[in-house]
Structure formats: C-alpha cells, structure tokens
Structure 1
Amino acid sequence: MSHLVIIDGHAVIHRAYHSIPPLTRNSQPVNALYGFYSMLLSAIDVLKPSHLVVCLDSPGPVSRSQEFIGYRAKRKPAEANLLVQLPLLPETLAAANIPSIAIGGFEADDLIATITKKYTKKLKKITIITGDKDLMQLVTDKINLFVPVRGLSETKIFGPAEVKDKLGVPPSLVVDLKALMGDMSDNYPGVAGIGPKTAVDLLKKFGSLDEIYLHLTDLNNLSNLVRQKLIKDHDSAYLSQKLAKLIDNIPIKFKLKSSRLNDDIYSGLNTLFADYGFKSLASRLAKKNPQKPAVKVQSNQASFF
C-alpha cells in the first residue's frame, strides 16, 4: 500500500527535547536529536510507510508575520541547549538519506498542506507526525495525524472522528473555530470574549464563520452580548481565519519517488547512529532491517540508552 509519512520536523524535535533527559556528544547536547530519531523509528515500526519526508521550518520571518505583526510575538525563545541542536536536524537527515524540505518564508505546516493536497489522490494513505493542532484542518478519511500525547512513549491517531471529539468540530471547521476563539500560541486574537465553548456552539448552529455573520441580525439565534462581540471584532475574526488557514499552493520541488523508504535510508541511519553513539537506536534499527548489520559504535563515543 502506498503510504506517505510526513514528519513535522521542528514540532517533533521540540517535543523530544522536553521528553528526553539531557545527553551530550563531545560536550554538545543531543537529547532532542536522539528523541527525534527514536520517534522516527517508532513511526516506521507502527505505520509501515512506503514513503517518508520531513518538513522543516525555516529561520527568519514567515508570510503570516506580514499579515499580522504580532504573529507568534509572545512565544518564549527556545532554550539554548535546544537551539544548538536545531541545525543538526537537516544535517543528519541529509546524512541519513532522508528527504527534507524547508522554504524560506513558509512554515512546515504550509509545506505539509501543499504536499497533502498535491499527492492525496495518488496515495492510499498519508500520515502526519506532529503535535500541532493546526494540522487537524488537513485530516480526512485518507489523511491522519500521528500525535505524541505523553512524551514520546504514547501516541494517538487522529482521524476525522478523533478531531471532532477533541475540538468539538470536524476538520473542515477547524479554521473557523480558530477564527472565532483565536490562538494564544500563535498570538492572533479571534473575537474577544468568544472562547472554545461558545465558538463550537456557534459553528454547530450556523455551520461556518460566513453563515454566523450572515445571521447577525436574527434576534432568535444570537444573544445580544455575543452579537456585539462579533460585530466589534468582525475584521479580527476574518484576519484570524486567514492566519489559521494553511497555505497549500507553495511551489515545491518535492517528488514523491524521491521519498521512497529504501535501503539507502536504513544504511544512512545505521551510520548516523554509530557516529552519534546512539547504541539503542542502532539496535532497534537492526531488528527492523536484519539484513543490514548494525555498524559498531566506537568505544570513544558515548552510548545512549
């Protein structure tokens, strides 16, 4: 079965950093890197993909910052021990022969949206590995999320039913939900005073953001307090809708055939784990690909887990 797994690279490595105890290689922190590749091996084992690609954020401003100057302005800077590991991710992916994509000005989420739109008809299944709720808007019967829910040890698959159970609305209304209630993490406001419960209730009643605003004058369907909030923050709601919607038409050079999971990737991972002293990852890899014996970890390297 043709099954593409897309890894939201920086979302996973951030979670890995906070889930794995401190580890060093030649005095450099590598715990986030270790956790990322541990999750990658778990995904290969559980999901059994035919194709694999990693999408990465690029440093510098993104297109949404031009739409709203406060976009993500309140996020705390990453810790220094994580920051020094971020450049290692694209380097090690290249060394392991795993394709990755990063395009200046765009977020990994947008790259993922573009790939899913381009290839969903050509594939039996697409699974996105992420901890980012923004990607729930992409979920369909063919596109699932594989989400770490407790560190890296416990995961959950989100299909359309799971998204609705989690958020109260189906994937098709995730953007409008965020338009109404805003997003504290990305720092866009939505409609002031409209929280998740009211936003869900409004969408259940009217079906979309547009329909809500079309019925503002219907006294039987809205309380006066909610109506005034919606009127006051009309522009904010539609700006937030635009910020929440993922961009799915980025011109990318990614070709599906370049992402096929093959022996070159297993060999690259094997060598990478040996170079970094990731002994337990090398052992796990050997069990998945027994015809390729593990490269022995050198004695002058630290062996982790």
Structure 2
Amino acid sequence: MTPTGASRLTRPLLVVDGDSLAHRAYHALPSSMKRANGRPGNALTGFMSMLLRLWQAERPRAVVVGWDTLGRPTYRNALLDSYQSGRVFDPDLVEQLELLPGLVSAAGIVSAKEPGYEADDFLAAAVAQERGRRGSALVVTSDRDAFQLADEQTTILQPVRGVSETARVGPAQVRERYGVEPRQVPDFIALRGDPSDRIPGARGVGEKTAARLLAEYGTLQALLAEGRFAAEAGRLRDFRRIATLDATAPLPPLDDREPDWAAGAAAARELGLERLADRLEAGA
C-alpha cells in the first residue's frame, strides 16, 4: 500500500549504487555459487539479498538503483584520458552486471541507466529530487565520492564486511574521515587525487595538506584565485568537475512504490537461482 500525507514524507528514498554493490557481492561470495546452468550467480544472489535486507531494515518509500554503462565513455573521459584506465572486470562479473538490471526491474524496483552517465550521477540526481520534495534519502555505495551528498536529509550507507552490514555516514562522519565538509569533497578529491579513478591531484598534495588548504581557503576556486597552483589550475578545475556528481542525470519517475518480491523471486527462479528465489519469496 502506498503511504500518503505526512507519513509518506517520514519514509526515506533508498538510492543504490548498483555497480558498487554488485562488485562487493561478487568478491564477498564464493565463485562456487552458480545458477542451474552452471553459470556464475554470486553477484546476483548477494546483490538481491542485500537489497531485500536493506528494504526490510529501512522500509523506504521507494527504491532506485543507478547503473554504469560499461564501455561507454562520459565527459569525464574527455577531460582526463587516464580516467578509470586500467580497470579490468572478470567476465563472470560482467555477465552478472548485464543480468542484474533486468532482475531488479522484475522485482518492481526502478533502475536508472543511460550512456554518458555513471551510477554515481543517478545517486546525485535522486538525492537532489528528494531534497526538492523535502524528503530524506539513504544512499548505498562504497564510493567515497558520494560523501559529497551527505547532509541533514541524506545519509550514506557504506557497505562493510562484504555486503552483510552498512555503516552510516553523515556530515559529521565526513568531517571526521576527511577533515572537510561534504560540499568540499570534490575540491578535496581534485587536490588530493583519487588513485582508484586515476585522478592524479595536485603535485605534492596529500590528504592532510588538501584538508588544510580547504580549511584555509574554503574552495578550490578561492585557492586558485589567490595564485596557488597556477601552473596546474586548468587541470585542477577539470579534476574537480570529474569528481562532482552530475545531478542532472535523467531519472525515471520515483513515485512511492513497494517492491514486488514475489515477481522478483519468479525472475530469480527463471535464472536458475532457486535459493535466492526462496529467500525473496520469504521476504514477500
């Protein structure tokens, strides 16, 4: 049943980084976990099981899952040739990443996927939309770029211990971990760099120096306006743009909607995932 009025606004929107959670599930669960046809099933099983647990624990008003479009460049690649270069995914993981959006949709959960955008961008777009309606959001991701989304209405749920638990990250936790405000995270990444995305950062600047500079100047732009890092200014602005999540990413409607776990179970059974199907049916 769809909640209405004030009760609706007390329930958060659950926003999930599909690729991030699928990667964690794939590496957390044994490769011996197969579908009936002998093909891999660990990422599919772990992802959907975690999604069910999150829904049961948080009872959100709706769930939306954002996805990368593998092999399709974004504006970030145009700004930095080395962006995310060298990443090689196991074929067994890629196969399951191709199946997951359909399985998620079969369970009545919204998927957002579009060439030119990353999963992170859909997280930002969903959070911006929820802020506009004065609701709250829970963002599930392992990607610390998403810390820029944290505020009084938005909490990051960071998976720990594989996909079995999450840690809650709000503005206070961002300050504790990085020494900066959430809004400063793109500036921080531009200065410090991000090895996982192959963003080099400013020469000679590490985590502590980046935090100290932002405490003094407030923003990367203010720092550059004072003549700091003049020789690298253009590149640092590009790095900041790369690190900034694009809240204009196109989203399907995010109306209040309960998952259809029974339909998800039927889809899992068609994929030869009997144990997952039983788990989803029990959740329904």
User: Do the aligned partners of 1:14 and 1:82 also contact (CA within 8 Å) in 2?
Assistant: yes
Name which of 267, 271, 295 aligns with 2:266: 271
User: Do the aligned partners of 1:273 and 1:282 also contact (CA within 8 Å) in 2?
Assistant: no
Cα 1:123–1:254 change in 2 (3 A) is farther
Amino acid at match of 1:119: E
Cα 1:231–1:85 change in 2 (3 A) is same
User: Do the aligned partners of 1:180 and 1:199 also contact (CA within 8 Å) in 2?
Assistant: yes
Is 2:76 the counterpart of 1:64? yes
Q: How far 1:284 sits from its partner (Å)?
A: 6.3
Aligned residue number for residue 111 of structure 1: 122
Is 2:125 the counterpart of 1:80? no
Q: How far 1:281 sits from its partner (Å)?
A: 6.2
Q: Distance in 2 between matches of 1:68 and 1:83?
A: 24
Percent identity reads: 33
Aligned residue number for residue 24 of structure 1: 34
Is 2:209 the counterpart of 1:210? no
SS at match of 1:146: strand
Amino acid at match of 2:91: A
Name which of 94, 99, 112 aligns with 1:101: 112
Q: Distance in 1 between matches of 2:86 and 2:204?
A: 20
Aligned length: 271
User: Do the aligned partners of 1:53 and 1:98 also contact (CA within 8 Å) in 2?
Assistant: yes
Q: Distance in 1 between matches of 2:251 and 2:193?
A: 33
Root-mean-square deviation over aligned CA pairs = 1.8
Task: Give the structure, 1 or 2, with the largest relative contact order (CA under 8 Å, sep 6 or more).
Answer: 2
Give TM-score scaled by structure 1 length: 0.83
Aligned residue number for residue 234 of structure 2: 235
Amino acid at match of 1:267: A
Written as runs of structure 1 = structure 2, the 5 A alignment for 1:1-305 is 1-22=10-31, 23-25=33-35, 26-59=37-70, 60-75=72-87, 77-216=88-227, 230-250=229-249, 252-257=250-255, 260-262=257-259, 265-275=260-270, 276-279=272-275, 282-283=278-279, 285-286=281-282, 288-289=283-284
Q: Distance in 1 between matches of 2:146 and 2:19?
A: 14
Q: How far 1:231 sits from its partner (Å)?
A: 2.9
User: Do the aligned partners of 2:83 and 2:197 also contact (CA within 8 Å) in 1?
Assistant: yes
Q: Distance in 2 between matches of 1:8 and 1:198?
A: 30
> What whole-Å deviation, never above 9, does each CA across 1:112-165 have from its counterpart, x for those lacking one?
212221232315310111111111111111011111122112210111111111
Larger Rg over CA atoms: 1
Give TM-score scaled by structure 2 length: 0.89
